[in-house]
Structure 1
């Protein structure tokens, strides 16, 4: 973790140095490290781990001595009346009433004391302490899960930016190609070797290609905004990707990925810890059938006087103290604890069923992810071959047109087929990248490289 924080700090400092230019040059790993530190999901998950640690301290404190100080200063405008029977030998025969009112007390009283309670035995305390520590483990797993989700989203967004950059490059190449055709057609038309309709056809194709370039640029800008949102980066900063698709997705790396076996999924760790918490809840409710024992003690100094200035005279103050044991024995609660225990057991059975299901589901997820990646790679190979063929067809159609043995309709159709082949290739490329990320997630190996 220290290495991770150091690496993130170095990157943040580097980012701060270029923030004045509002441009952030990013690699994939730098994007992930920044996102782990700044994405709101991981930030909140990290704060949750701090909350759980504070909960452990809070629970532990309940088993330590609880000491409280007290102070009071009371004034009795009218001293309370105590009624005594008007009977011999203290009765007053001259008083016809059956009772004699007597006032016991003084106008002012004060006290200063310290009370202490120390738990000796409470079964639910020890279970609660264990549960608090288990909760800390769960929040740590939740943090790992949050980081994995952020890594997955950042990778997909990052690849989206790269694919859109490639789309722009191909679209601009297409536009340059059509512009060259349009220039040639205009020259032929001016020389009387081509009809005006041939120029118009290519102009239509040029307009369509220009629209494709603009759509590609818009998609690129949108994909960069999505990446910044996933990273938690300010939208005012521009993003510059410094890697290529070939650098990030070598054939050797993909083949090794297809051969890997699944590692431990953090979701299973989360579920296992949740089951432990449910078991501890059962123990907690069961322990409440047992008595609780506390040690109590207090010491108090009390004083009084008829005048306020005499209340705090030393001779009017006296000390008292108490030491004892307090035991609370549960006898009957209307079967509420029994009902809670039954609820806990049913909930535990649900979690056990879920664990059994997830174990098989994750194996199927790995199988599905590998199958999808293999299929996408096959489609990508087909689309790459199709792209090469479309380029070859266009080159031939262009040569035939230039030599006067072909029509510009053939050239336009070949150009449209080439553009479609490029779009299909990029779509297959993006699908393959997403499948690669899905397989990494299924294998449980989504993580940032903290050494770079």
Structure 2
């Protein structure tokens, strides 16, 4: 009997371990959440792939400045040889017109050609634009990371505050359950009325409903966080307790244009339009290139080009030279293209000025919001302390029979409200911190 009991316990424990390992559990601090997100988020992965595409485009543009070498070959069967009309005097038939077949039945050719641009202003301008495009792709990756990390950090703090509120309500529910046990005894002994006991039941049900709602909200928020992080939904995500760190504020960094991704993106875009304009204007410049050709040709009446056939001949041809192209008139096409680039650049310049002002406004608003949030947090903390004192006094008075249950329930409700308000103010402080880091371009460096 004992052996069966121990075997059953062992099997149950093994199944429990298997379930836990199958489900998977991960415990993350905020920096670990950010690091995991940067590595696994789908949007970031796609932006990194796009960045790699940009590098390959640069290689493609660079290839136009390198030597272009081509090999070719052909094998021709002349079913009907071309005919040359000549005076009869050349063929022994004076006064008549004679025809001569030109060539042999089969031609064979193997050729190699090389072309190297020596001067092509548009090629070198395109190379500069390609390098700027690489910078553009890198900035887009950074912008994607900033947006994704911002969402992940906000969700992380939301979960932390939800956990805090759940603990508050659970503590109040435990206290209410204890009061219910006491009130049941007091009701049986006739010390309190039924209505007082029912009030406690109503308070308990309200707390249970609030807890249920918060638990559902937390579950949905965790799923959203896992989605942003790129984590499998089957993994059990556990966040570290930030109770001791929650009121530690980050240093507010100054705003500098060098760290502002949107502004840097616009500056690169402006540079690209400038290079695009130069590229169109480069079409008016001459293009000089070096070329070299070599061909090895064979002619024969033998399809196999047999060396024994008297008609088989092989000869090679080679040439080198310079090629110069000078555009003279294109119907003002390049002029129109150049003006389009100039107007696009002017549009970007307007966007740069607006974005710079927008960043300044966002930074000032973020500072004001942070200061207001800190002031509200301090007020909420004072409210919690006062509500706790009132509740402690009400509980003591109730235990000593100096006040009724209604006063105690009112004090408990006020304490719960003050605690939840403090949590909301705390969340607002953390979000204000994130926003000020984002407005200064320091978000990614802070975690």
TM over 0.5: yes
Candidates 374, 377, 394, aligned match of 1:377: 374
**Cα distance, 1:393 vs structure 2:** 2.9
The answer as to 2:313 corresponding to 1:309 is no
Give the secondary structure class of the aligned counterpart of 1:317. Answer: strand
Who is 1:13 aligned against?
A: none
The answer as to 2:361 corresponding to 1:364 is yes
The answer as to 2:127 corresponding to 1:129 is yes
Who is 1:3 aligned against?
A: none
The answer as to 2:82 corresponding to 1:84 is no
Who is 2:140 aligned against?
A: 142
Candidates 229, 232, 235, aligned match of 1:231: 229
Q: How far apart are the structure 1 equivalents of 2:427 and 2:137? A: 34
Who is 1:176 aligned against?
A: 174
The answer as to 2:207 corresponding to 1:209 is yes
Give the secondary structure class of the aligned counterpart of 2:442. Answer: coil
Q: How far apart are the structure 2 equivalents of 1:415 and 1:91? A: 131
**Cα distance, 1:325 vs structure 2:** 2.0
The answer as to 2:420 corresponding to 1:426 is no
Q: Which runs of 5+ in 1 are unaligned?
A: 1-17
Who is 2:275 aligned against?
A: 280
Go from structure 1 to structure 2 and tell me whether the alpha carbon gap of 1:353 and 1:329 turns closer, same or farther (over 3 Å shift): same
Q: Is the 8 A contact 1:80 1:103 kept in 2?
A: yes
Q: How far apart are the structure 1 equivalents of 2:42 and 2:432? A: 26
Q: How far apart are the structure 2 equivalents of 1:292 and 1:248? A: 66
- Deviations, residues 371-403 of structure 1 (Å, cap 9, x unaligned): 001111111222222223233333333333333
- Deviations, residues 239-271 of structure 1 (Å, cap 9, x unaligned): 222241432541xx45x42xx421332222222
Give the secondary structure class of the aligned counterpart of 1:236. Answer: coil
Q: Residues 32-47 of structure 1: matches in 2 within 5 Å?
A: 32-47=34-49
Candidates 154, 157, 163, aligned match of 1:159: 157
**Cα distance, 1:48 vs structure 2:** 3.1
Q: How far apart are the structure 2 equivalents of 1:394 and 1:212? A: 20
Give the secondary structure class of the aligned counterpart of 1:106. Answer: coil
- Deviations, residues 77-114 of structure 1 (Å, cap 9, x unaligned): x315537389777698999xxx8776434332221110
- Deviations, residues 142-182 of structure 1 (Å, cap 9, x unaligned): 23323322332222122112111111111111111111222
Q: Is the 8 A contact 2:82 2:103 kept in 1?
A: no
Q: Is the 8 A contact 1:38 1:232 kept in 2?
A: yes
After the TM superposition, which of the residue ranges 164-173 and 180-189 deviates more from structure 2?
180-189
- Deviations, residues 35-77 of structure 1 (Å, cap 9, x unaligned): 112222322333333333333322222111100110112223x
Go from structure 1 to structure 2 and tell me whether the alpha carbon gap of 1:173 and 1:83 turns closer, same or farther (over 3 Å shift): same
Q: How far apart are the structure 2 equivalents of 1:91 and 1:396? A: 140
Runs of 4 or more above 4 Å deviation: 18-21, 85-95, 99-103, 311-315
**Cα distance, 1:411 vs structure 2:** 2.8
Q: How far apart are the structure 1 equivalents of 2:308 and 2:391? A: 112
Q: How far apart are the structure 2 equivalents of 1:398 and 1:248? A: 30
Q: How far apart are the structure 2 equivalents of 1:387 and 1:313? A: 111
Q: TM-score, normalised by structure 2?
A: 0.87
Q: Residues 322-337 of structure 1: matches in 2 within 5 Å?
A: 322-337=319-334
**Cα distance, 1:29 vs structure 2:** 1.3
Q: TM-score, normalised by structure 1?
A: 0.86
Q: Is the 8 A contact 2:84 2:102 kept in 1?
A: no
**Cα distance, 1:443 vs structure 2:** 2.1
The answer as to 2:294 corresponding to 1:266 is no
Give the secondary structure class of the aligned counterpart of 1:333. Answer: coil
Who is 1:190 aligned against?
A: 188
Go from structure 1 to structure 2 and tell me whether the alpha carbon gap of 1:239 and 1:301 turns closer, same or farther (over 3 Å shift): same
Q: How far apart are the structure 2 equivalents of 1:243 and 1:335? A: 68
Go from structure 1 to structure 2 and tell me whether the alpha carbon gap of 1:179 and 1:312 turns closer, same or farther (over 3 Å shift): farther
Q: Is the 8 A contact 1:29 1:448 kept in 2?
A: no
**Cα distance, 1:216 vs structure 2:** 1.9
After the TM superposition, which of the residue ranges 66-75 and 241-250 deviates more from structure 2?
241-250
Who is 1:7 aligned against?
A: none
Give the secondary structure class of the aligned counterpart of 1:375. Answer: helix
Q: Is the 8 A contact 1:82 1:104 kept in 2?
A: yes
